[in-house]
Amino acid sequence: MDIDLKTIIKEQAQAVQIDLIGFAEAKDATEFLPMYQERIKNNHLADVGGVGELAKRLRVSDVMPEAKTIIAVGLSYHHPVAVRDQDLQSDKGIISVHVFQRDYHKIMQQKMQELVAKTDQITQQKYKYQIYCDTGVLDDRICAYRAGLGFFGKNNFIIHPEWGSYLFLGHILTDLSIEAYDVPMANRCGECTSCIEHCESGALYGEYKLNPKRCISNLTQKKVLREEEKKRIGRHIYGCDVCQQVCPFNQRAKVSRHACFEPKVQDVYVSCDEIIGLGEAGFDGKYKDTALYWRGYDVIKRNAKIVKENIYSEEKDHE
């Protein structure tokens, strides 16, 4: 594969409305192993099976031995939500902006499948591909970083200078090879520490330092919560966007061209009683085509009950 074909693939990515695409050599990302080792040492990871298991997230050779190239892709889901005073009423909890849109896993998979089909059509060859979006062993963020899609922010998200960090990421492993790979992007956070200062749970405890056990987004997906963890999620029924919302790159990021990812304000700020009263069938009917459906009604209902209790405690404290 020469540089002209690389350009063609980028053009085809634009044709299927992929916002970002980059190419990295399919080698093991062992340079990230110290990050995992530090988190294990600090007891910041649970049920990971030790360094050996975590190292699998970095070994392309284990996933696809014949792979020569990682094609990393990104789709922007940034649609600003105008928040009104009535949206912050005391009975409402918060749900992450990305989970009420159409299920991004399906959309990403479809676009990547279209891309590889067009590539085979252009080359008139049948290359081998493996397509992943939150579904593989490898870390999508590391793949994106190595392929030059953005830099690692202090909030541990991949940040693109124009698109910000509101990006759905995926990657394609393939045995097609290129001569000119993209290079990782230099960090542009500078002296800014806004994400760390605004992290409500202390999960971001230093520059590029993350304790996943304290992350509200992770806690709202956890099967069993301890009492202190229930208090920690505050008003968050599912997910947390705070460290992204305060990022200067996101405050000036381009708006997504994908209308299917546009949330409504009544989806982001939702009544806890409404969630609790939906029932299994009601939940399935309303959210089946969204990423929220993946987590299941039992966890979401539990979180809504916890948030309702947190709101009640908060109001009592202010009496």
Task: For Cα atoms 159, 163, 167, give the angle at the middle one, nearest 5 degrees.
Answer: 65
Domain end (from 140, 174, 208): 174
158 shares its domain with 273: no
Quick one: 231 and 162 in the same domain? no
* Last residue in a domain, options 174, 202, 231: 174
From 118, 93, 105, 102, select the one nearest 238 (Cα to Cα): 93
How does pLDDT run across 234-274, given as a tens digit for each residue? Answer: 999 999 999 999 999 999 999 999 988 887 656 788 899 99
Q: Return the HEC string of 276-315.
A: HHHHHHHHHHHHCCEHHHHCCHHHHHHHHHHHHHHHHHHH
Does 283 reside within a domain?
yes
Determine whether 152 is exposed, middle or buried from the number of CB atoms within 10 Å of its CB (0-12, 13-18, 19+): buried
Cross-strand partners of 94: 236, 269
163, 204: one domain: no
- For residues 141 and 169, give the distance between their C-alpha atoms in angstroms, rounded to a whole number: 7
| Same-domain status, 261 and 296 | yes
Is 107 part of a structural domain of the chain?
yes
DSSP for residue 164: B
Q: Answer yes or no: is 295 within a domain.
A: yes
DSSP state of 17: T
Please tell me the total count of domains within the chain.
Answer: 2
Residue 41 token pair: 């040492």
Helix (H) or strand (E) holding 114, with range, is helix 104-123
Mean pLDDT of all residues belonging to the chain: 90
Q: Residue 130: what pLDDT?
A: 97
Mean local confidence (pLDDT), 262-289: 86
Is the pLDDT score of 59 beyond 90? yes
Residue 107 identity (one-letter amino acid)? I
Local confidence band at 56 (pLDDT 50, 70, 90 cut-offs):
confident
Tell me, what's the pLDDT at 214? Answer: 94
pLDDT on residue 258: 93
Instruction: Give pLDDT tens digits for 3-47.
Output: 477 888 999 999 999 999 999 999 999 999 888 888 888 888 765
| Pair 21, 125 in one domain | yes
Domain region containing 166: 3-78+103-174
Residues 291-313 have a mean pLDDT of: 92
Rounded to the nearest 10°, the torsion over CA 186, 77, 208, 307 is 170
**How many other C-beta atoms are found inside a 10 Å radius of the C-beta of residue 49?**
9
For residues 205 and 275, state if they share a domain: yes
| pLDDT band at residue 53 under the 50/70/90 scheme | confident
129 inside domain = yes
Residue 97 lies in a domain: no
Check whether residue 302 and residue 170 sit in a common domain: no
Give the separation between CA 236 and CA 213, rounded to whole angstroms.
16
The amino acid sitting at 152 is: F
133 in the same domain as 17: yes
Same domain, 41 and 148: yes
Say whether both 170 and 199 belong to one domain: no
**245 and 133 in a common domain:** no
User: pLDDT value at position 267?
Assistant: 75
Q: Cα 273 vs. chain centroid, distance in angstroms? A: 28
Q: Which residues are catalytic?
A: 134
Give 164-204 pLDDT, tens digit per residue: 999 999 999 999 988 889 999 999 999 999 999 999 999 99
- Tell me how far apart the alpha carbons of residues 64 and 57 are, in angstroms, rounded to a whole number: 12
Tell me the whole-structure pTM to 2 decimals. 0.91
Q: Do the domain assignments include residue 89? A: no
Whether 210 maps to a domain, the answer reads yes
Give a yes or no: residue 126 inside a domain: yes
- Under 8 Å between Cβ of 119 and 127: yes
pLDDT greater than 60 at residue 2 = no
State which of 174, 207, 232 marks the end of a domain.
Answer: 174
Residues facing residue 72 across a β-bridge: 22, 171
- Which of 268, 221, 222 minimizes the C-alpha distance to 242? 268
Specify the pLDDT at position 126. Answer: 84
Q: Please name the helix (run of DSSP H) or strand (run of DSSP E) that holds residue 116, with its range, or none.
A: helix 104-123
Residue length of the chain:
319
CA angle 227, 232, 235 (to 5 degrees): 115
For residue 275, give the nearest of 310, 301, 308 by alpha carbon.
Answer: 301
Q: Assess whether 156 and 255 both reside in one domain.
A: no
